[in-house]
Amino acid sequence: MGTVGASTASEAGFDVFRDDWGIPHLRADSALALARAQGHNAATDRAWQIETERHRLQGTTAAFLGEEALAWDRFARQARLEDTARHCFDRLSRLAPDTAAWVTAYVDGVNTGLGEGALAAPEFAAAGIAPGRWQPWTPLGVWLSTHILFAGFPTKLWREEVARRLGDDAITLFATDGPGTSGSNGWLLTGDRTVTGAAVIAGDPHRFIEDPGVYQQIRLACPEFDVVGLAVPGVPGIAHFGHAGGVAWAITNAMADYQDLYREQLRRTEDGGVEALGPQGWETAAAHTETIAVAGAEPVTIEIIETGRGPVITGGPGAEAEADAPDIEADAPSLSLSLRYPPRVTGELGFEVLPALLRARTVADLDTALDGWVEPVNVVLAADTAGATLHRVAGYVPLRPRDNQLRVVPAQDPAYAWRGRHSPLPRTVSGADGTGTAVMANERGLAAPLGVEFAPAHRAERIRELLDGEERWTAKGMAGIHTDTHLASARPLLGLLAETAELGPEAAELRGRLLRWDRHMDAGSADATLYSALRAEVVHRLAAHPVLSAVTGAADPVRSTAHPELFRPWLAAVPRVGYALETLIGHELFPYQDRLAAVSEAVEAVAARYGDGNAPRPWGEVHRLAPWQVWPGTDPDPEASRPGLAGDHDCVLSTSSVPGITDHSARGPAARYVWDLAHREDSLWVTPFGASGIPGDAHHRDQLPLWARGELASVVTDWNLLHRDRSDPLHRDRSDPLHRDRPEETTEVTAAARASVPAQRETVYEQEVDGLGTVRLVAIDPAADLDLIHSWVSEERARFWGMSESSREEVLEAYTFLDSLTTHHGYLALRDGIPVAIFQTYDPAEDPLGECYEVLPGDFGVHLLIGPGDRAERGFTGYLLAVLVSHAFSDPAHLRIVVEPDARNERAVARMVRAGFELGPEIEKPEKRARLAFLRRPAAVQSGPGPGLSNERP
């Protein structure tokens, strides 16, 4: 069944250690055991986080988050994310079976740990859901759903609007790393630039800050490798940032464009199907419907369509007619758009690279492995202890016309088809740039031919400037680079401010103050607050200018029904103006006098706001962290997660506010790291919160003060300095000093909420069995257990259960009906708290079966479906079946057990015979031909539990 029962971690093939920050150090005797350990750790430390990611992949988050999550669920299903992950795993299984086995081991670890993790995480009870079961492809899907918006394909919708309203020459006017973009800093110093004589790699990934964090600090050690780094919870290995002792690596977003949007023409056929106009004419499109459950609202049924280009993510047959609607302009482009993205086309996600990274010993090993990288497209820095360095782009970028990168292109035109993969770009494998340094900060650099929207060069130039300020560097010295707050992008606005004239006395004083400002967005600087206020006022004035009114006014695409709600961050006009302000403030699009007037009016407005003794607060009081939490109500101290910050979007300390919208920061360094190639133990790292994803845990946010101050924690590599996780993996003692109890009030939940987690429900029957452990029966909750039940019954191995083609909604309907009956009952069988089987009972006299044979008094019908597992555990099914038989005969009114396996299921029929059942006749039922079998009470008493019954699964 894939569980380790009540064994300790060591007995399961791995050990868990933790440092003083609670960071897990996992050690195992094989790579597969280590993968299982990593999955188990993700499930216990980050259960709620990774289960949310699984629901995001499936498009089922609205079922417990409500209507606010519907936009994502709709997109996830329309984009076929889970189906793509499944296809990618199938390909991985065929071409890289060792990697597929490694991923499967990770999934096994997740499934064994989720029961415990859910008990510790209060969000499950608060949301009223139970953990589901992960499939082998789920980690691939988590990776895909995490990065599907990474390349910012919705930006093409914005550029299409700009070109249509302002002309094709303006299509890249707003091109920059906008509000929906993920970025990073990274830099490398060769040995001749460090005190130790060995290379140092440092940097920080910039993502939307989530609580718990999107990166997990971890150490993975086995005889083949020993790597510390930043893992993505829910995904095995260490993909982006790692130190293997002899070699270390880091990445930034290459800002490449590798996803295309096609303008589709769709029509309905007479038989209800869908056709799309492609390069060869009208062609059949795949189409089906799905229903999305929405908490607190009616379910929503959507149509899923896929053309020869890709899944349709907006629109459908008849969408063109909708363009006549009053709020859509007559010249608006087609509302039906398909998305083409590499994993959907090729069936590749590059997961075979992940174990290769862990095993790498040199830069050459890394370079070879990265040739197989797919998504996302990254710029990579790496160095090894032999002095070799690497600076390259890795990832899959399709070869196609430039227009595909810029905008939406017509589906029927063959000129816009993909023609293979872009050739590898030049790389540096010997020394950095001649100065002993290499810098990457999302600027237009190595990946320039591959993208459109790059970050301004300010961060990269500032990092080089700071590095050039010292001849030799230490690892600890890197903290000063990470936290630099100089805002070079302020120069154009302040330059125009200097040209203003005829200001009132308060405005003139404010102008002088800002022109004397050192342009550092320090937390204690009130001048930084004044600059942000001036910038916001200018942004709003430029956004309202007649030149931009066609894009930012009533026809603003964010207010149009033409595009999905999910894409609003890429389509909102004011943030677009705010991020592109440095370009717009000097662009000839606006007459010079209008630009000058906008700044003059803005400085007057800010001066009036802060007049009469109303002094501006320091930047750190208004520029506060605003992290995203899936279920914030369980946080015992939510304000503690919102410290004041220094920095701004274009600073090296890139804590992004949204000019013109808010001074709060939702995006920033999701981690900081310094990899020292001389002594790995001198490496440093920090994350915004902590190692634990459990609200109230001692290590939930113990790193937050460190992170907010710009400090770093030491990477511990000496096993003697670590604390063994003394509790076993399935029964971790949260009273351990490393896992202190949460405040009492956070652990109290209602009985109804507690019942949503199977292990916490009322026990119907319980039996302790040597060789099996404790088996309990609990009643099925159709809604809470839907994920688990649907995942089990839809597998090929469960085809004789008769629900392999049933949708989630059909499964829910069936079990809801079952739950409403007094003669039929459904249970989950739990082994040591982990669901292992579905057990259903019924009165044959009140069931259609009763029409197929002569029902005797005391007949008691049962169905049994064993859950999936990774190995055949000797005697398991026999032991479990004996427990269920004991339960059935615990009621003296039950004199004979009746089963009706599918006659074709020879293994199930043979199992019944070995268990002491007497075979009856074959019968015809509407859904199958079944073989009756009977077990009388005396026979059950004689057989008893034992391994001889069977070790097979249905």
Per-residue pLDDT at 401 exceeds 80: yes
Backbone angles phi, psi at 291, to 5 degrees: -115, 130
Distance (Å, rounded) from C-alpha 817 to C-alpha 792? Answer: 19
pLDDT number for residue 909: 87
pLDDT in tens, 82-108: 999 999 999 999 999 999 999 999 999
* Percentage above 90 pLDDT, the chain: 69
pLDDT band per the 50, 70, 90 thresholds, residue 869: low
- Average pLDDT rounded to a whole number, residues 846-856: 90
Q: Which two tokens stand for residue 922?
A: 């074959």
- Mean pLDDT within 372-377: 95
Evaluate whether 360 touches 373 at the Cβ level (below 8 Å). Answer: no
If one compares 460 and 743, the residue with the highest pLDDT of the two is: 460
pLDDT-derived band at 122 (thresholds 50, 70, 90) equals very high
pLDDT of 382 higher than 80: yes
Choice between 760 and 282, residue whose per-residue pLDDT is larger: 282
pLDDT of 748: 32
pLDDT for 434 equals: 66
Is the per-residue pLDDT at 324 higher than 80?
no
Residue 603 has pLDDT above 70, yes or no: yes
Residue type, 389: T
pLDDT category at 117 given cuts 50, 70, 90 is very high
Instruction: Give the per-residue pLDDT at 22.
Output: 96
pLDDT at 11 (0 to 100): 44
**Placement of tokens 């995203």 in the chain:** 628
The rounded distance, in Å, linking the Cα atoms of 292 and 70 is 8
Residue corresponding to tokens 């189906």: 83
Residue 387's pLDDT is: 94
Tokens found for residue 688: 């915004």
Domains of the chain: 488-627 (1.10.1400.10), 761-943 (3.40.630.30)
Average pLDDT across the chain, whole number: 88
Whether 201 and 249 have beta carbons less than 8 Å apart is answered as yes
* Residue 874: per-residue pLDDT: 63
Is the per-residue pLDDT at 699 higher than 50? yes
The pLDDT score that the predictor gives to residue 742 is: 31
Confidence band of 123 (pLDDT split at 50, 70, 90): very high
Mean pLDDT of 474-490: 96
Decide if 914 contacts 948 (C-beta within 8 A).
Answer: yes
Residues of the chain with pLDDT > 70, as a percent, come to 89
pLDDT of residue 193: 95
Would the pLDDT of 256 be above 90? yes
Which string of DSSP letters, residue by residue, matches 333-395? PPS-EEEE-HHHHH----TTHHHHHHH--SHHHHHHHHTT--SS-EEEEEEETTS-EEEEEES
- Cα distances (Å, whole numbers) of residue 477 to 117, 280, 668, 677, 679: 38, 61, 21, 15, 15
Mean pLDDT of 265-281: 96
Q: How do residues 811-831 score in pLDDT, each as one tens digit?
A: 988 898 888 888 999 999 988
Q: Look at 162-176, 380-394, 494-508 and tell me which has the smallest mean pLDDT.
A: 162-176
Amino acid at 580: A
Arithmetic mean of pLDDT, 174-196: 88
Q: Please determine, for residue 761, whether its predicted confidence score (pLDDT) is greater than 90.
A: no
pTM: 0.78
Length of the chain: 954
pLDDT class for 279, splitting at 50, 70, 90?
Answer: very high
Phi, psi (deg, nearest 5) at residue 517: -65, 145
Look at residue 433 in the predicted model and tell me its pLDDT.
56
Inter-residue contact 540 to 578 (CB < 8 Å): no
Report the alpha-carbon angle 180-181-186, nearest 5.
Answer: 155
Give me the mean pLDDT over the 867-876 stretch. Answer: 61
pLDDT number for residue 732: 38
Contact 160, 408 (CB under 8 A): yes
Choice between 551 and 491, residue whose per-residue pLDDT is larger: 491
Q: Is 487 helix (H, G, I), strand (E, B) or coil?
A: coil
Q: Which residues pair with 520 in a beta bridge?
A: 486
B/e letters for 559-570, b = 16+ CB within 10 Å, e = fewer, are: ebebbbebbbbb
Q: State yes or no: pLDDT of 683 exceeds 90.
A: yes
- CA–CA dist 262, 340 (Å, integer): 8
Report helix, strand or coil for 698. Answer: coil
Neighbours of 434 (CB within 10 A): 6
In this structure, the number of other CB atoms found within 10 A of the CB of residue 241 comes to: 26
Place of tokens 């079998």: 933
Per-residue confidence at 938, pLDDT binned at 50, 70, 90? low
- How far is Cα 83 from Cα 80, in angstroms, rounded to an integer? 5
Question: How far from each other are the two terminal CA atoms of the chain, in whole angstroms?
Answer: 13
pLDDT tens digits, residue range 409-439?
999 999 999 999 998 877 776 545 567 899 9
Determine the residue type at 172. T
Instruction: In whole angstroms, give the CA distance from residue 59 to residue 38.
Output: 25
Q: Using pLDDT thresholds of 50, 70 and 90, give the confidence band for residue 872.
A: very low
